[in-house]
Amino acid sequence: MKIYVDGTLYAKEDAKVSVFDHGFLYGDGVFEGIRAYDGTVFRLREHIDRLYQSAKTIALEIPFTREEMTQAVLDTVAANEKRDAYIRLVVSRGPGDLGIDPANCSRPTVVIICAEIKLYPKALYDSGAPIVTSSVRRIPIQCLDPRIKSLNYLNNIMAKIDARRAGALEAVMLNHQGRVAECTADNLFFIAGGVLKTPDLMNGALPGITRATVLELGREFPMGTEEGNYGLHDLYNADEVFLTGTGAEIMPVISVDGRQIGDGKPGALTKKLMEAFRHRRTRDGIAVPYAAGVAKA
């Protein structure tokens, strides 16, 4: 494995970041999780745009242009000779001192990791997954805007602990008003009366790249789409529920807090969206410039 650190590719055992890096000390930084499918990086421009938007909001100046960062991602995938991969792109505030002042950090740290993708168990895509509601509320947008994909994921991690202790795949996170926001690592959708619905971003959801793709697919089918304010009552009484994310792609949900969704099996429209997304994955990608001789999987 070759890992990109500040412009240089290192072997895994040689890739290092300072213990004084404020990403390590304080979670001060931003990141993206990106997928490569059959030699193309899915919606890379959208991921890069979101990275720079998150960085701007936290006043983090990324030391590369968007074009340079895009090329760095493609080059890292090519150097690892992977056609299917999970890519983690991290930009931290960089090394500083033991105080929190960002002004004491001389230069941001940029890390790109290209690794094997660890998916949810394949059987769950056929059978669907149960999820629960976490007791941990989403951080209010007045305190820290959840649209920032920052390195500080403790809010989500605490909710994930709830899910694991309940024996569930994922946990629904509500905002301080009791409205559905998202799950710990995935966006949340449901279908009611033939309409595709997902929480409005202002309720505490990350603007997921897969989320945006699914909304596009819903409009192309066509079927009604809606971003709004929803409570658990809406999820419990939905015809279909599913999760979306870079790692999850589209994961059917068969129960929420023990309430069966539909007939307890992945819904017909969810399956239709899953199939459409599979066809979209390489169409909306940027080709990786592999060296000659890299075999097609």
What structural domains and CATH numbers belong to the chain? 2-115 (3.30.470.10), 122-282 (3.20.10.10)
Q: With cut-offs at 50, 70 and 90, classify the pLDDT of residue 146.
A: very high
Q: Which residue of the set 2, 82, 149, 197 is catalytic?
A: 149
Kindly tell me if the per-residue pLDDT of 35 is higher than 90: yes
Kindly tell me if the per-residue pLDDT of 222 is higher than 90: no
Using the 8-state DSSP alphabet, how is residue 203 labeled? Answer: G
Calculate what percentage of the chain has a pLDDT beyond 70: 98
Q: CA quadruple 275, 125, 246, 42: dihedral positive or negative?
A: negative
In angstroms, the CA 35 to CA 38 distance is 10
Kindly tell me if the per-residue pLDDT of 295 is higher than 60: no
Using the 8-state DSSP alphabet, how is residue 94 labeled? Answer: -
Told to judge if 149 belongs to the known catalytic residues of this protein, a careful annotator would answer: yes
Polymer length in residues for the chain: 297
Kindly tell me if the per-residue pLDDT of 185 is higher than 60: yes
**pLDDT confidence of residue 120:** 86
The region, left, alpha or beta by phi > 0 then psi within -120 to 50, assigned to residue 105 is beta
Here the contacts of 62-71 (C-beta below 8 Å, separation 24 or greater) are 62/91, 62/108, 62/110, 63/107, 63/108, 63/110, 64/110, 69/110, 70/44, 70/45, 70/286
Kindly tell me if the per-residue pLDDT of 297 is higher than 50: no
Q: CA quadruple 146, 151, 152, 153: dihedral positive or negative?
A: positive
**pLDDT confidence of residue 39:** 95
Q: Tokens for 148? A: 């920032």
